[in-house]
Every structure is written in structure tokens, then in C-alpha cells.
Structure 1
Amino acid sequence: MQEQSDTGTPALKEIFDRERLAHIAREAAAVSAGFDTDTFMARAAENLDALGIMQRMRQVAVALHAALPGGYARNIEVLSALAPHLRHSFVAISLAEFVALYGLDDFDISMKALRFFTQFGSAEFAVRPFLLRDLSRTLAVMEQWAGDENEHVRRLASEGCRPRLPWAVRIPSLIKDPSPVAPILERLKSDPSLYVRKSVANHLNDIAKDHPDWVLDRLSKWPLDDERTSWIAKHALRTLIKKGDSRALALVGAGGKPLLKVEAMAVTPQKIALGERVSLAARLVSTANESQRLVVDYAVHYVKKNGVANRKVFKLKVLDLAPGAAAELSISQTVKDFTTRKHFAGHHRIELLANGEIVAESGFHLLI
């Protein structure tokens, strides 16, 4: 029976189940006559049920190393032949992990391998040990990747050096000073690929958590009349906009004080149990004499175990409201526990925000 997540779907780690491991072994044996299938299966499946997805991915890389004959350069040739046959992008990440584990002393071969492997499964995690060992040398290669014809390689140029990349080791020097990555971000600021632009926006959003002025100063010089660049800026500033940062709001055209009245704001139902949905609806009417751009968000004050509330802001809508015009807004969400947030009983206040200012309040009572 397959392990399931809280929603009843197979757990993510089951990407690396025993059937998948057997498939990897068959394909590896097909491209390498000396591949030791028994050794691979024994090492890759060891204590498998107790391992999470990232641990399983790394264990596959370790098992490949144990089962492959020859030295590092020859192993990379075999894995390059294997890559197109793995049929799953996350499984292919194990090939890049092989480079991170065994290729730190073969920089040139490893950089070429990461460029190739990322086209099958992102090498964003695997490039980080190289950044930690030799930041300037690795970033010089990544700047070249930013001009690559393949969107996966260009994305790696940005994603791989994000200072706070989720699930990955952090790069302390880039958290402290993001300036070394500026040439990469500049080169990608109007990339034609949405896949790449999302990475650039997330990268800038990471930096904004530690150096908001650095991001705001840079974006203020970018050509925001370019649709692609403007898209990046809007998404890069999302954390600052949620905080009501005036410079961030101005950069997306919503820097002015919201001139409006809230004719109705309703939170329904007023009482819910954990696992049920709560809905927010509001009608905004402009009181301005000219059109205004409004960034509308809402904040939920989640009650913690000690009774103190923890405020979390959610995006709602960005709209241009003509003089006297009205806008009907609504949204709903299920209130359930996550690994990152546990809910507790009590009154949960909800604020409606426009351009960072509270324009209406309501709430609901959670029953546990």
C-alpha cells in the first residue's frame, strides 16, 4: 500500500519508490555494460521507507556512484547517456546531485555536466556547493548560462544562486551582499521565458527580505514599460507590497492613498470548524476624481497557542478603478493545519487592505 499525504494522494517521496529504482537500474545497465545492478538496488533501497524525498534523491546519487565502474569523468559520460531515459524531472535531479557529491574537484567537467543535466531535472541544488567553495568562479560560469539558448539553463543561472532557495543550503555571503549576482539578474530582466522570469522574481523577492532598498533601487532603474520586466518587478515586490512599503507600491503604480469606501464587507460563516471554508466578500467604490490603481490584499490574524495573534497577508487583486466605479471582490480558503501552521480556537480578525492601508475589518470564530 502506497504511503499517502494528508490529502489522500501519494506522498511526494514515492517518486522514488522501488519500481522507480528498478527502472533507473535497467536504464543505467543499458548504457553501461559494467553497471552493477545488485549494488545499486541494495544501496538505493536501503531503509527507503524512512527516508524523505530529498534523502531518497541523494541516496540514488550515492547508489549510482557505488554501482558505476571507472572514474568521475567516465561516470559523467554514462550519466549523460542515462539522463534522457529517466522520464521524470525530479528523478533526474539525482544526476545533478551526483555532480555535487563527487565533482567538486573537477570544476570544468562538473559545470558542463550541470548545464546538461538541468535540462532534464533542475541542478539548482547541486550548483550550490560550488558557490560555497568558489563563489566568483562559479558565478562567472552562471553569468554565461544566463545567455544560453535553453530556458532551463538560463533559469539555473538565477535559481541556483538564490540566497534563500527553499529546500537548499543557504549562501551566507549572498545573503549578506547580493551585488555579485547583479549581472545575472540584469541579463535576465526581460527574458522571453515565463519560467525564467518567475525565477528572477523569486530571486529578487528573496533579496528584498534582507536588502529591500537594494531591490527597490535596482528595479527603479529597470525599464518597467517593458511588459516582461514589469511582470518580474510586480512579483519580485510581493513581500514588500504585503508590508505596505510605499516605494514598492509606487513602482507598481499604486503608491497613492486609496480613495474609496467599502460599502460592504462580509466574512461567512461567522463560526467554522477546522477543515471548513471561510469566505470574504467586499464591494469597493472609488471616491477619487481620477482612475487609481489599487493593490488589494487581506490579512488574517491567526490565533496562536498562547492566545497572541500572528498576522499573515494574502494577495487578493490588483485593479484599476475609475472615478465612481465599483468592484466586487471575493475569495475563500479552507482553514486547516499545515506543517508550517497549526490553528487554535478563537476569534480570527480579518483586515481588508488597499495599497497597504486597512480599509475594513471583520473576522470569524474558529472552533476546535
Structure 2
Amino acid sequence: MASPLKDLYSTAFYDRLSNALVVSIPKFDKGKFIKAVFIPEFESKELKERMKHTSRVMHGFLPENYPQSIELIKKTITQLRIQGIGEDGLAYMFLPDYIETYGINDFENSVEALEFVTQFVSCEFAVRPFILKYENQMILKMLQWSLHESHKVRRLASEGSRPRLPWAMGIPFLKKDPSSILPILENLKTDPSEYVRRSVANSLNDIAKDHPQVVLNMAKNWSGLGSYTDAIIKHGSRTLLKQGHAAILKHYGLDDKGILLTDFKILTPEVKIGESLEFSFSIANENATEQKVRLEYAIYYKKQNGQNTKKVYKISERIYPPDAAVNIIRKQKFVLITTRKFHLGDHQLSIIINGAEKEISHFELTT
């Protein structure tokens, strides 16, 4: 079994960090630092709590003067690189947290620090309070970042400004009106870095949840600019596609006419938690011409209140020649995970062809 993520903050981690701090911070007391970290409550702290605890402890060993502290953090990152410490380590998220916690009232020094630190560990969460506090000033800075030579800074411009960034604080004014971040996405639509392009797609998908027409317009405007941009549009439209949004289905030439579903069967009408639902069906293209077919299935999970919640899963999307027929067998695991709790009883399964939900059948989830 994998170790809990909180164990990233281990004795070995703090030893490596201290070795860098000894070099970068004048008169740094390694023993005192380690003692301040490993307080009696440390073991019970989870990942985010340990991250913030590390930020607070670090603050006690840095100058009260914030700009001076930032310069020492930069030196620490340089020293970590010299020691061969890999970039993007999750444990180093305490560095962006330090900027967020202690630099929120110092815009100029903090945005410069975010630009530097994000090239070592992503600052996508730490930048959010600055967007909320400084709004247009911060968005303008992120627009400048979208032209930065570092792909990690460019990615911060798009990822940090996502209206619905998972596990991050929301940005209500961007949910209401995303127009201010569209120029950022425009600058990045042909970015050479896949890391950046995927972030652009995720931002579009966020926008689509509140403003589908904005994404539809961008899909039309960006279509055909190149394979990179086409992939961004497709990934950014995934929620609209799963919703069966008519305009996006039309944009991608997805029409269910002449596509026949037959022999839909649930092979495991009773599914125990920990096991898999199995089902099969057949698809035939009865058109005289080839047809693009997007196949999905939806599971209506039973909630605690007895209602159902629908989740759509993609099977495939490909061209079917005239008269082509395919039999498909799929499995869906019902393994307990931290992000989903199952409730026993009646569940439903449906097959979706080019956004159109076809047959629905039932199965029972048991122990």
C-alpha cells in the first residue's frame, strides 16, 4: 500500500531542506528548525496542515522584512537545485504558501516571487488570493506571463486563472464573466508545451460549465488552426460533449441518425462492492456513408437521499464505415475510493450514442 501523501513531509525531507537553508540563510540553526517542525502535534497533521505548518516555521527563521525573506527563498531554491533536488515536488508547496500567507499586501514583490518560484514548484493555488484582491491588476500580470519564456510561468497564467480550479478557492468574478482571461488563452492556444496546452483546455472546460456559448464560439474560431489547437478545443469541450450539448455535437459532426443499438445486456444484474459491473451491446452503422460515432455510457449512482446522480464515461470515438457492426463488452469497477461513497440498492446504466441517451437498464449494488 502506498504511503499517505502527508509522509512527504518526512525526517529525510526536512534534513534535505535544512541543508539548503544552512547555506542560504545567515546563522540558520538547523537543530532549532527541526525541533520547531516536529512538535507533538506534527504526527496528527494531514498533508495541507503539514504544508502550512512548514510555512509558518520557515517564517520564524526568515527576516521580518518581506522582500528580504523572498530573496532568501530564491537563494534556497537555487541551493536545492544545486543539491539535485527535483523540481515540482509536492512537498515544496509550502514555498508558494509562504508568499500567499505573508505577501498578500505586497503586490510587486509577491508577483515577482510567484514568477520565480513557480519555475520550481507550481504557484497555481497561491496566486488565487492575489486575483481576488487585485483582480484586473493581477489578470494583466498573468496576461504578461502568458508570453513568458518559461513554459511553467505560461502555464501559471492559464492554470492559476481557471474559474473552477479543483481544490482551490473559487474566483466568483471569473465564473460570472470570464472575458478578462480569454486573451490569456488566445496567447496560449498554439503553445509548444503540452503542459500549457492541457491547462488551456481545462480552463475552457471550466468556462463551458457556466458559459457554453463562449467555448462554442472559441471552438469555431480556433478550429483548423492546427493539431495542437484542435486537441485543446476537443478536450476543453468534454463537459459539453458529455452533456450532449446540441451545438457542440453538430460542430464535431456527431449525429446519431442511422446508428443502431442492439443487444444491450447487463451481464451482472447484481454487483457487490469491490467487484465490477459488466455489460455488453452492439452498434451498427446503417447509413450508406461512413459516420463518426462517439460511444459513452452513464451510470446513475444512488445517493444517500435515494436520488440518483449521473456520471458519464467515454468508451470511444471513431469512424464507422457503412454497414459496420461492432459488439462491445465493458466493465466498471465498484471499488471503494476516498472520493466516492457507494450506496446500496438500485442503480441504472445507459448507453449514449453521439450525445443521445438510448436504452436504460437497472442493476443492484449489494455487499
* TM-score between both structures, scaled by the size of structure 2: 0.91
> Which shows bigger deviation, 90-99 or 17-26?
17-26
**Is contact 1:83–1:92 with CA below 8 Å preserved after alignment?**
no
Give, in angstroms, the shift of residue 70 of structure 1: 5.5
**Which residue in the other structure is 1:101 paired with?**
101
Give the counterpart letter for 2:268 in structure 1. Answer: P
> Which shows bigger deviation, 80-89 or 159-168?
80-89
- Distance change >3 Å, CA 267–CA 35, structure 1 → 2: farther
**Is contact 2:268–2:279 with CA below 8 Å preserved after alignment?**
no
**Which residue in the other structure is 2:46 paired with?**
52
Could you tell me how far apart the structure 2 residues matched to 1:329 and 1:72 are?
61
Q: Structure 1: state its 5+ residue gaps.
A: 1-7
**Which residue in the other structure is 1:62 paired with?**
56
Give, in angstroms, the shift of residue 59 of structure 1: 1.7
Could you tell me how far apart the structure 1 residues matched to 2:232 and 2:190 are?
8
Q: Tell me the SS of whatever aligns to 1:220.
A: helix
Q: Tell me the SS of whatever aligns to 2:341.
A: coil
- Asked whether 1:193 is paired with 2:187, we answer no
- Asked whether 1:78 is paired with 2:72, we answer yes
Could you tell me how far apart the structure 2 residues matched to 1:327 and 1:45 are?
60
What fraction of aligned residue pairs are identical, expressed as a percent? 35
**Is contact 1:270–1:365 with CA below 8 Å preserved after alignment?**
yes
Could you tell me how far apart the structure 1 residues matched to 2:325 and 2:151 are?
41
Give the counterpart letter for 1:60 in structure 2. Answer: T
- Once the two structures are superposed, residues 287-346 of structure 1 have per-residue CA deviations (whole angstroms, 9 ceiling, x without a partner) of 112122122111011122343322211122111112111234443232033344321222
Give, in angstroms, the shift of residue 354 of structure 1: 0.8
- Asked whether 1:276 is paired with 2:270, we answer no
- Distance change >3 Å, CA 306–CA 136, structure 1 → 2: closer
Give, in angstroms, the shift of residue 39 of structure 1: 4.4
**Is contact 1:274–1:367 with CA below 8 Å preserved after alignment?**
yes
- Asked whether 1:28 is paired with 2:21, we answer yes
- Distance change >3 Å, CA 103–CA 237, structure 1 → 2: same
- Once the two structures are superposed, residues 30-79 of structure 1 have per-residue CA deviations (whole angstroms, 9 ceiling, x without a partner) of 22232233443344334222322222212211211111235222222221
- Asked whether 1:119 is paired with 2:112, we answer no
- Distance change >3 Å, CA 10–CA 75, structure 1 → 2: same
> Which shows bigger deviation, 217-226 or 178-187?
217-226
**Which residue in the other structure is 1:152 paired with?**
152
**Is contact 1:268–1:364 with CA below 8 Å preserved after alignment?**
no
Q: Tell me the SS of whatever aligns to 1:122.
A: coil
**Is contact 2:286–2:322 with CA below 8 Å preserved after alignment?**
yes
- Once the two structures are superposed, residues 120-179 of structure 1 have per-residue CA deviations (whole angstroms, 9 ceiling, x without a partner) of 110001111111111111111111111122211111100001111111111111111111
Q: Give the superposed CA RMSD.
A: 2.0
- Report the count of equivalent residues: 360
- Asked whether 1:132 is paired with 2:126, we answer no
Q: Structure 2: state its 5+ residue gaps.
A: none
Q: Tell me the SS of whatever aligns to 1:94.
A: helix
